Amino acid sequence: MIDVQAMPFIADIPRVQAERRADETAFWFEGQSTSFGELETRSNQIANGLISLGIQPDDRVAYLAKNTDAYYEMLFGCAKARAVMTGVNTRLAAPEIQFILADSRARVLFVGKEFYSIIDQIRDELPDLMRVITIDGDREDWDYFPSWRNSKPATAPGLTPLADDDVIQLYTSGTTGKPKGVQLTNANYHAFFRQAAMLDWSSYAAGEAVMNAMPLFHVAGVNVGVLAAAQGAKTVVLREIDPTAILKLIPEHDIAHAFWVPAVIMMLVQHKDVGTTDFSSLKLVSYGASPIAESLLLDAKRIMNAGFNQLYGLTETLGAGTYLPPQAHDPAWGKLRSCGVPWPGAIVRCLDKEGNPVPTGEVGEIAIKAGFVMKGYWNRPEATEESIRGGFFRTGDAGYFDEDGFLYIHDRVKDMIVSGGENVYPAEVENAVFGHPCVADVAVIGVPDEKWGESVKAIVVPKPGQTPTAEDIIAWAKERIAGYKCPKTVDFVDVLPRNPSGKILRKDLREPYWAGQTRRVG
C-alpha cells in the first residue's frame, strides 16, 4: 500500500523508504542489487551533482540508454534537484533524437554506449546541452557516471519540491510528424498514487518482487519501478525484452507482479521453455498499450495460472484511465473485449462532436478528467488547449460504455497506429515515404498483426512510368525514421480514396484489412 501522506512528492520516496527499510533491496539489475539506503544516498549525490553543474529547477535532464537500475537513481536525483527527467526513445533515428533533445533544451544527457555514435553525429546541433555523462565509460571526453556520482556529497540537497513541478517529460509521436513533450508533475503522481492505493492490482507488499521489462521511455516502464519503490517492493529490471531471461527470472526472484504488452505475452506463451517454467509466485500480470487476441489471453491465463489486469491509458494520463480487473477476465462475465471501468477518482466519458456525452451504447470520443491528466505539452500551448477542454483530455480514441459501465474501444478518432505498444502516426511515415523519387502519393494505415496488434502498411501510388518495389520503399523509409515506424508491407494502387476536401479516407482503406476483426484496438 502506498503511504501517500508520507510521500507527497516523487523526491520523498527514497528518503521515506530508506528510513523504513534501508537494507532491503529496491532494485535488482543483472546480478547487482541496490538497497533503499543506497538509493537515497545515490539520488542525493546525483541531485548535488546536477546542481553543481548549474542545473536549475525546471531544467531538463535527458536519458538515452537501454534499461538500467541507474535510471531510477537519476529520476529521483532529478526530482530532488527539481529538474525534469526526460527519457528518449532508444528506437528513434538520429534526426528524431536530435529533435527531442533540442526541443526539451536538455542541459545534461546520460547516455548508454549503444548511442555514442548518434550523439557524436548530432552534438553540434544541441546548443543547450552542456554536459554528456556516459553510463558505460570508454569516453575520455565525457564524464563516467559512477565516478561522477560517487564524487558528490551524499547529503540531501535541501530544495523543497512543489506540486506543480514537472518531474518527468516523455515524448509522444505527433500527428504532424513532430513529437510532443508530455509534462507530468508531482501533483499528477500524487493523484496517481492516491487512486492506485484504492486498487488491488497496484498494491504491492513490501519485499515482493516486481518485474520491469518495459522500456523506460514509456510511461508504463517508468511507473512499474516508481510504484514498487513507493511501496517498498523490489523491482527486477531487464535491460530489454528477452523472453528467455523473463522466464528464468520469474522463479529465481519469485516475481509476484509484472507488466507486459501483448506482444511480450505472446513471446512467452510461445517460448520453448514456457512449459517447464515455475509460475507459482506470479500473482498478477497487467497488460495494455496494444490489442490482444482473446485466445492469447486465455492461453496465458491457463499457462501462468495468475490474475490478469488490463490497463487503458495514455502518456498524457500517466498511463491511467480504465482497468479491467482479474475477475472480469472470466469469460462468463462477457467483458473480455472491454478495457474496463474508470479508475476510482477519474471521470471517463464518450463525447460527441459538440463535447456532449453520448447515450450508453453509442460511440463517441473517449475523454478523461482526473488529477493524473498531464499539465500540458511542453512549449505547445495550442496543442494543449486543443487536447484538454473543460478539464477533459480528448484521447482521440472512439468508444462506448455498456449498461454495466464497462468501456469498449471501437476505433480511433485520430489515425494513430499502435504496434507492439509503440505509437506511430501515419503523417510521420508518409512524410518519410513521400520523398522517394518513384512515389506520387502515399497513405499509411495500421492493419491487423497477430504478434504486434497492428503493423504499419503503406499504400503507394507510383509516379507514371515508375515501378518501385516494396523493398525499395521500406529501405528508403528506414534511412529516415525509426525502424518500428517503417512500413512492414506495401501495397500499390492507381489512386487513393479522398473526400471532396482532399483528405485521405483512411477508414475506407482500413476496412478490407479489418473486416471480420471483432476487437480493433486494445
- Output the 3-class SS for 340-403: EEECCCCEEEEECCCCCECCCCCCEEEEEECCCCCCEECCCHHHHHHHEECCEEEEEEEEEECC
CATH of the domain at 137: 3.40.50.980
CA distance 172 to 189: 19
Choose the final residue of a domain: 95, 130, 161: 161
Domain termination site, one of 161, 195, 212: 161
Beta bridge partners of 159: none
Q: Give the range of the structural domain holding residue 111, as residue numbers without chain letter.
A: 22-161
Which residues lie below 8 Å from residue 353, measured CB to CB, with a gap of 6+? none
Handedness of CA 342, 174, 520, 266 (dihedral sign): negative
Cα separation, 305 vs 279, in Å, equals 7
Distance CA 26, CA 39 (A): 7
The secondary structure of 108-151 as a DSSP string is EEEE-GGGHHHHHHHGGG-TT--EEEESS---TTSEEHHHHHHT
Please report whether residue 181 resides in a domain: no
CATH of the domain at 482: 3.30.300.30
Instruction: Classify residue 175: in a domain, yes or no.
Output: no
pLDDT at 419: 84
In a domain, 221, yes or no: no
CA distance 22 to 24: 6
b/e code 291-323 from CB counts within 10 Å (16+ = b): bbbeebbebbbeebebbbbbbbbbbbbbbbbbb
Length of the chain: 522
Residue 137 lies in a domain: yes
The model's pTM: 0.85
- Beta-bridge mates of residue 166: 185
Q: Which of 161, 192, 214 represents a domain boundary (last residue)?
A: 161
Could you tell me which residues come within 8 angstroms of residue 384 by beta carbon, excluding any fewer than 6 positions away?
Answer: 376, 377
CB 484 within 8 A of CB 419: yes
Cell of 225: 519501478
Residue 145 lies in a domain: yes
Can you tell me the distance from the alpha carbon of 226 to that of 234, in angstroms, rounded to the nearest whole number? 11
d(CA 210, CA 475): 39
520 three-class SS: coil
Domain-located, residue 205: no
Helices of type H across 393-464: 426-434
**DSSP symbol at 405:** S
Task: Say what the pLDDT of residue 103 is.
Answer: 97
For the chain, 522 residues long, give each residue's pLDDT as a single digit of tens.
Answer: 788 899 999 999 999 999 999 999 999 999 999 999 999 999 999 999 999 999 999 999 999 999 999 999 999 999 999 999 999 999 899 999 999 999 999 999 999 999 999 999 999 999 999 999 999 988 999 999 999 999 999 999 999 999 999 999 999 875 555 789 999 999 999 999 999 989 988 899 999 999 999 999 999 999 999 999 999 999 999 999 999 999 999 999 999 999 998 888 988 998 999 999 999 999 999 998 766 777 788 899 999 999 999 999 999 999 999 999 999 999 999 998 899 999 999 999 999 989 999 999 998 999 999 999 999 999 999 999 999 999 999 998 888 999 999 999 876 666 778 888 787 878 788 878 988 999 988 899 999 888 888 899 999 999 999 999 999 999 999 998 999 999 999 999 999 887 655 667 888 898 898 887 755 444
Which whole-number Å values give the CA distances from 159 to 16, 45, 164, 166, 189, in the listed order?
A: 16, 13, 14, 14, 19
Question: Is the CB of residue 42 less than 8 Å from the CB of residue 149?
Answer: yes
CA neighbor of 68 nearest in space, from 256, 175, 215, 169: 215
Cβ count within 10 A of residue 56: 11
Tell the residue number behind the cell numbers 509466485, with chain if given: 281
The count of domains in the chain is: 2
Q: How far is CA 420 from CA 112, 123, 292, 404, 450, in A?
A: 23, 31, 10, 30, 10
Which pLDDT score is estimated for 430?
A: 86
Q: C-alpha 190: how far from its chain's center?
A: 19
Query: What is the model's pLDDT at position 174?
Result: 57
Residue 500 confidence (pLDDT): 55
Per-residue pLDDT tens digits for 375-403: 999 999 999 999 999 999 999 888 899 99
The answer to the question of residue 107 being in a domain is: yes
Asked if residue 470 is part of any domain, the answer here is yes
Cα pseudo-dihedral 353, 356, 362, 367, rounded to 10: 80
Nine cell digits for residue 305: 495460472
